[in-house]
Each structure stands twice: as C-alpha cells, then as structure tokens.
Amino acid sequence: MEVAEQAVATLTENITEVAAQPGELPEKMVAWVIREEREGEPKDAFQLEEIEVPEPGAFEVIVRVMAAGVNYNNVWAALGEPVSIMRYGDHPQYGHHIGGSDASGVVWKVGPGVTRWKVGDEVVIHCNQASYEDPEVHGLDPMAAPSQRIWGYETTWGSFAQFTKVQAQQLLPKPKALSWEEAASYGLVYFTAYRMLLTRCNLQAGQRVLIWGGAGGLGVFAIQLCAIAGAHCVGVVSSAEKGDLVKRLGAIDYIDRNEFAGMMRTGEESPEQEKERFVASRAFAKRVKEILGDAPDIVFEHVGKATFPTSVFTVKPFGKVVICAGTTGYNLDFDVRYLWMKQKEIIGSHFANAYECMKANELIESGQIRPVLWRTLPFDGVAEAHQLMMENKHLGKIAILVGAEREGLGKSAEGPGAIYAEVGG
C-alpha cells in the first residue's frame, strides 16, 4: 500500500465510531478538507485531515453525520472556480473548507436557544443559512438576506466529516422509510428544483416543460415534480441509458443531445457558424414540439452558455426560462429578439427557503417524490465521487457513508425508498 493510501486507511478505519456520548463532543474528528493552496481537480484538492470539532453557537446544532450527499458545488469549491470560496462566508475566520451541503444524521449537541430539536433526533439538513437578525429573513425571503449563504459551500463546517455545524432552522425530520444514504442524497438539488418550478414558475397541470440534464441531480427531481403536478415534460440527456431513467421518472420522452451537437454555443462562432448553429437549434426546438405537442411553457436551465440561446428560442411565446447555474459558462450570449418579440421571461433562481424545503420534504416522506441514487461510496470515496461528477459519469445522485456502517441502515418505516439508477459510469 502506498503512503497516501495508508494514511487514508488509518484515518477512515474508525470513521463510524465517535469518542463522545450524545450531548458531548470529542475534541477532534476526521474530515475531508480543502485548502486554498491545493485547489484544483477534486482528486487532489480533497484531503483527509484530523481537525477540531466546532462548538454550537446560539441557535446552532452539531449533527453527527451518518451519510452525506455529493453536489456539483464542491466540484467548484475544489477547483477554486469561478472564485475561491476561501474568500467568502466564514472561511477567512477558519482558513479551511469542509465541503458537503447534504446530510442525514443525528442531533448530537444543541446550542443556546434551540428548543425545536433535541439530542437524538434523526434529521436531514437543508443547505440555506441566513442571519436571524436580517429583516429579509422575517418578512421577505431568507434567500434575499445579505447574510444568505450555502452551508458546506460558502461555509466551513459541511457534511464530509463526522460532525457538522448547522443553524437549527436547517433541520428537517428524516423521512422514516429512507436509509441514511437515501436521506442524505436529495436535499440540495431537489429543493432547488422545487423552488424553480413551483415558486418561481408557478408550474401548473397541463403545462409543458423542457428539462436539460434530465438524468442529472437537478433533472431527476424536476421530472418527478412535473409528473406529480400533471405537467408534461421532456428530458435532454447524452445517452440512451440516461434516457431510460428519464422515462422511468415520468418524462414523456427524452432527446439525446448528441443528435443536435451543432446547437451548442461556444461563443467563438463566426457569423456563418452561428447561422449553422441556429439551424441545429431550430431542429431541436422542432423535436421538442413534436414530443410535447407544442412548445414548452417552461425551460429548466442550468447548463448556461452552451444551451441558453436554444432555450430562449425554444420556449413558447410568453414562456419562462428558469435558470440556476451556468455549468458550461455564465456569460450568456443569445439573440434577444426571440425574447422581446415573443415576450418571454428569464427567471433566476437559487436554492430554496426553509418553508419550501419543508413542503418539498413532505413529498419525500409521503413517497410521492423519491431520491434517485446511482452509487453509495464509503467515506474514503469523497474525492473520487466529485471527480466522477465533474467528468459527468454519474446519473442522479451519489451518497457517502459517514457514521452509517453499511448501506440500508436507518429505516424506521416501510416505504418505497429510493429509485436506483444502476447504469452508467
């Protein structure tokens, strides 16, 4: 065994044990840590370290992490792109980053003022934080608060560790029929998709929706939300295997984007090339219309630069393009005539507030929306999981076992559990 492998093995050997009773904290814990000097590909940026366990402040809770969920945000955190997160949130105070914006676990210690939760409660965690003192939190929306930040991305104490520090308002009851890893897998992307479609676009039965990345983290929940709302959707994917998953989740059909590779905007096109690109966008929009019966009322966007001109063109007059990311680039360049002449709307959206998270979580508890798990990896797989995600080799979600000794533990009721996406990779 190489020295690095040996070090990982030593640190993760007893990861499922903690040297303290509930209500007390050990001095140290094992965590995957990113530091500014090693930002780069996830396989290099994430390193295991022994690090202090934080104490909970007022209205804060320390949760023992049983399982964590993997999200694209910590691919960005590893890369240090588009900006280094070390300059934001509480990172300047601590000088390191423990990623992880999804978790299931057990309340281990509560800070002053916490009354809704007690030691021993089984929880999942939503990833929005905001200061109790900001007026926006009390009258507008915590997403509008100047203090708003994403736990485990813009904050230091995320879920790829034995313990995590969160605000009490982030806690939600763990759905009883889910295992630890299933419960840890869905929050960030599902709650984001919920706000995008239900709050920001007022999704209605009978509407038509185009979903980019239909087999990805956001996409698998956007499709299920459309299905239970009685809306008709088509998912865009890059393989037939992913297409099968999309149909299984309730999409009418899928489109393989490789058939329309020419529609992707690079930003480097000459006027002639742009004309050709537009021909491919037009053919794509025609296919969408054929599948849905008409142009979509809503386009669900997160790909950004490569697809945005096609999204604006494809959405129906007076329709909405709702966007929460720009994975392929965030400087968007599109022909605005299709926007103003047809009175279309572009709507920005970012995560969700605690009330939306609670309502969305009830649909998981009732089994109407199900987590979609591709793989569950042991704790030593955190860096590998982010690498797989960056390379777009996954479907749905990846979970990480932390305190849970094996998969399948933590269920206390019968229920449908997660959908398992067993292909790809």
Ligand X SMILES: NC(=O)c1ccc[n+]([C@@H]2O[C@H](COP(=O)([O-])OP(=O)(O)OC[C@H]3O[C@@H](n4cnc5c(N)ncnc54)[C@H](OP(=O)(O)O)[C@@H]3O)[C@@H](O)[C@H]2O)c1
Confirm or reject binding of residue 238 to ligand X (CB under 6 A): yes
107 sits near ligand X (criterion: CB under 6 A)? no
Span from 52-60, 321-329, 330-338, 407-415 in contact with ligand X (CB under 6 A): 321-329
Element spanning 30, H or E: strand 28-33
Query: What ranges make up the beta strands (E) of 345-388?
Result: 345-348, 372-377
CA dist 43 and 40 (Å) reads 8
Q: Which stretch binds ligand X (CB under 6 A): 55-63, 65-73, 129-137, 330-338?
A: 65-73
User: CB within 8 A of 345, min separation 6: which ones?
Assistant: 318, 319, 320, 321
Amino acid at 329: G
Size of the site for ligand X (CB under 6 A): 30
Q: Which stretch binds ligand X (CB under 6 A): 83-91, 140-148, 212-220, 284-292?
A: 212-220
Kindly state the smallest distance separating residue 176's Cβ from ligand X, in Å. Answer: 26
- Taking CB under 6 A as the criterion, the residue among 128, 162, 192, 224 binding ligand X is 192
Among 189, 234, 363, 383, binds ligand X (CB under 6 A): 189
CB closer to ligand X out of 178 and 303: 303
| Residue 98 dihedral angles phi and psi, to the nearest 5° | -105, 110
Q: How far is the CB of 217 from ligand X (least distance, A)?
A: 3
Pairing of strands 372-377, 419-420: parallel
Distance from C-alpha of 355 to C-alpha of 323, rounded to nearest angstrom: 21
Return the residue matching tokens 């904290």: 25
- Cβ 200 vs Cβ 389: under 8 Å: no
By CB under 6 A, tell whether 216 contacts ligand X: yes
Segment contacting ligand X (CB under 6 A): 47-55, 61-69, 140-148, 323-331? Answer: 323-331
Full 3-state SS string of 175-200? CCCCCHHHHHCCHHHHHHHHHHHHHC
Which one, 204 or 392, has the nearer CB to ligand X?
A: 392
Q: Is 307 in the site for ligand X (CB under 6 A)?
A: yes
* Distance, CA of 166 to CA of 157 (rounded, Å): 8
Residue 263 touches ligand X, criterion: CB under 6 A:
no
Q: Does 158 bind ligand X (CB under 6 A)?
A: no
Interface mask toward ligand X for 73-102; x: CB under 6 A:
x-----------------------------
Residue 303 lies near ligand X (rule: CB under 6 A): yes
Least distance (Å) between residue 353 CB and ligand X: 12
Contact present, 236 and 301 (Cβ < 8 Å):
no
Select the span of 83-91, 164-172, 208-216, 407-415 touching ligand X (CB under 6 A): 208-216
Asked whether position 309 contacts ligand X by CB under 6 A, the answer is no
Phi and psi angles of residue 257, each rounded to the nearest 5 degrees, phi first: -65, -20
Burial class (CB in 10 A: 0-12, 13-18, 19+), 355: exposed
Residue 185 lies near ligand X (rule: CB under 6 A)? no
* DSSP secondary structure code for residue 407 in this structure: T
Stretch that binds ligand X, among 163-171, 226-234, 324-332, 366-374 (CB under 6 A): 324-332
Q: Is residue 324 near ligand X by the rule CB under 6 A?
A: yes
Q: Where are the beta strands (DSSP E) in 212-315?
A: 232-237, 253-256, 298-301
Residue placing its CB nearer to ligand X in the complex, 115 or 331? 331
Binding site for ligand X (CB under 6 A): 71-73, 188-189, 192, 212-213, 215-219, 236-238, 242, 257, 302-303, 306-307, 324-325, 327-328, 350-351, 389, 392
